[in-house]
Amino acid sequence: MSAALRPGLAVLGLALAAACAGPSEAPPVAAAVPAAPAAVPAAAAAPATAAAPPPPEADEAPVPASAPAARLARALIEAERAERAGDRAALARAAMRLGRLGPVPATPDDGAALARWLAAMPEDAAPMRGRALGPAFRSGTLLPGTSTRLEQTFLGGRAAQIVLRVAAGSDLALVVRDQARRRVCHARKDPIECRWTPLYTQRHQIEIVNEGADLSRFYIVFD
């Protein structure tokens, strides 16, 4: 063989040897493990939000403390207690509040008591002539385990208010039903304050129950 052919045969032999050996195996590669998520700092966590309390039932919505019915009930209690205690200064203050509220007594006895209390106003008090009529009220007493029922008409589309206050004795329970016998108010703890809006003008039945062990003397105000 000539010297000129030897280099070419050598190259060809190397190529055939590589083809017969097959592809070389690559070294194994470790599978990538995802890194664990970084811990969220406590300060970055979303603050817990307390669940909002459910809204009160419509038939048990409380009367605002500034409502005339609530102010009148408080003034009536103050006047009676001041009169029983012989506290002329406290009675005069309660009489001034009553004069500004213009209450309407529901019975002759309530009218007599109101006139007596209003007479305790100081002589230099501003005259109350021409004042607008305020809420109606009546007083009553209940022996333990007894109840009484009243009826009152409330105008449709206008917020109706009832406030029941105990002057002395056991707490009372109050249930108010509309003309269709649907309950619009039910409460037990003194002071009882209810507000609702009748769909139309109608009479309501009001039941007051003494569930306690003592005689209870009370005032109920309608507005």
Task: Give the pLDDT of the chain (223 residues) as one tens digit per residue.
Answer: 444 445 544 444 444 444 444 444 444 444 444 444 444 444 444 444 444 444 444 334 444 445 889 999 999 999 999 999 999 999 999 999 999 998 999 999 999 999 999 999 887 665 554 445 679 999 999 999 999 999 999 999 999 999 999 999 999 999 999 999 999 999 988 889 999 999 999 999 999 999 999 999 999 999 8
d(CA 164, CA 170): 13
Residue 122 is predicted with a pLDDT of: 83
Residue 219 is predicted with a pLDDT of: 96
Residue 19 is predicted with a pLDDT of: 46
| Number of CB atoms found within 10 A of residue 208's CB | 21
d(CA 95, CA 78): 9
Question: Residue 218: which residues within 8 A CB-CB, separation 6 or more?
Answer: 139, 140, 141, 142, 164, 165, 166, 167, 172, 208
d(CA 139, CA 79): 13
Residue 12 is predicted with a pLDDT of: 43
- CA–CA distance from 20 to each of 8, 11, 14, 24, 26 (Å)? 19, 15, 10, 11, 18
Q: How many Cα neighbours within 13 Å face the side chain of 9?
A: 6
Residue 30 is predicted with a pLDDT of: 45
Domain ranges of the chain: 60-222
Q: Is 60-222 in CATH node 2.60.120.380? A: yes
| Number of CB atoms found within 10 A of residue 83's CB | 18
Residue recorded with tokens 């008591």: 113
Residue 67 is predicted with a pLDDT of: 83
- The sheet carrying 183-187 orders its strands as 147-154, 202-210, 172-177, 183-187
Task: Give how far the C-alpha of residue 131 lies from the chain's centroid of Cα atoms, to the nearest Å.
Answer: 33
Beta-bridge partners for 164: 192, 220
Residue 123 is predicted with a pLDDT of: 74
d(CA 78, CA 139): 14
Is the pTM here over 0.85, yes or no? no
Residue 124 is predicted with a pLDDT of: 67
Structure tokens at 15: 């190529």
Q: Sign of torsion, CA 82 88 94 100?
A: positive
Residue 182 is predicted with a pLDDT of: 94
d(CA 95, CA 110): 14
Do residues 69 and 220 make contact, with C-beta atoms less than 8 angstroms apart? no
Residue 32 is predicted with a pLDDT of: 45
Residue 190 is predicted with a pLDDT of: 86
Do residues 162 and 185 make contact, with C-beta atoms less than 8 angstroms apart? yes
Residue 134 is predicted with a pLDDT of: 78
Do residues 191 and 62 make contact, with C-beta atoms less than 8 angstroms apart? no
